[in-house]
Amino acid sequence: MGIILLSFSTVILGIRYDFRFLMFCFSAKYIDWKITSSSILLLGILRFVWGNNDVAQINLIVSILLAVTLPLIAHYTRDRLNELTQLLVLVTYALIPTIVFSNHLIADKKLVLLICSILVTSGYAATYVMHFFITDLYRLIVSASTDHLTALKNVRTFNKDLMDVEREKKAVTLAVVDIDYFKDYNDSFGHDNGDALLKQLAQVFNELSNFDTDFYRIGGEEFAVIIDTPNQRDAEEFIHDLQEIVAHRRFCTTSGDPVSVTISVGVAHSRTGETLKKTLKRADVALYKAKKGGRNQVIISFPH
């Protein structure tokens, strides 16, 4: 992209103008700093080889400066400003060297003002448009990977994550969670209350989710958990704690009346030589045993 932008640059009084700075800023905001810095340096060197003159030398120095400072500014502003404001700050910072050197090298200040006005206006406008499309694309990605009712990851994401885990050959624990007597709850309180209960339960799951534990809604009242740890005892304790927390949590109907629900859970640990599809099947069988054995309990699937 940087090479394309460089190819369609405009030369005015020996100074080459292009919109590479937009790529630098968006890369600093959305991509790892190593990629950003190396890309800026690579294009700076390419620009230097392209036109080895005083301006190209200045451009190389500026590229080195941006490669070091732009990712730092992006990191500093990430939690302090909203996304669009962050991008505008980065664009403004990236344009400063161009404005300063244009003012220094071009004697006609009216021309300098015109050039800078075009760069700033075009840069800001392009930033706004690109941010709009990126935000829209992000919303589409999120909507495709999350459950619309609970905002948990959906079954499509669950299957994808299982494939990723299997490819990486990680030791994981899989759990399948089912709300006890959910059909009776819907019949008694109505589907709106059923949806409200699912949302409240998902909130509990989100509270307990951490860097090595992911929750998914894979069916009507059925959820799945992937615990990314080789420590089976810790994983089992987590699931037992989850079951007890739900049993003691007070949920509410849409009218505000308190209700209690319980969950049944089937758990299976991954085994060497076993596909995660089979591990998940064992968790399903364990869930069936938990429901058949009285519900409100956790059943662990042990290898035969």
Name the residue with tokens 């071009």: 106
166, 207, 221, 237: which is the annotated catalytic residue?
Answer: 221
Listed in sequence order, the residues at least 6 apart from 111 whose beta carbon sits closer than 8 Å to its beta carbon are 12, 13
Please indicate whether residue 83 is annotated as part of the active site: no
Q: In the 3-class helix/strand/coil scheme, how is 143-197 assigned residue by residue? A: HHHECCCCCCECHHHHHHHHHHHHHHCCCCEEEEEEECCHHHHHHHHCHHHHHHH
Residue 131's nearest CA partner among 34, 29, 222 is: 29
Contact in structure between 47 and 59 (CB atoms under 8 Å)? yes
Place of tokens 């003002």: 113
The 3-state DSSP class for residue 17 equals strand
Running DSSP on this structure, what letter comes out for residue 53?
S
Catalytic residues: 221
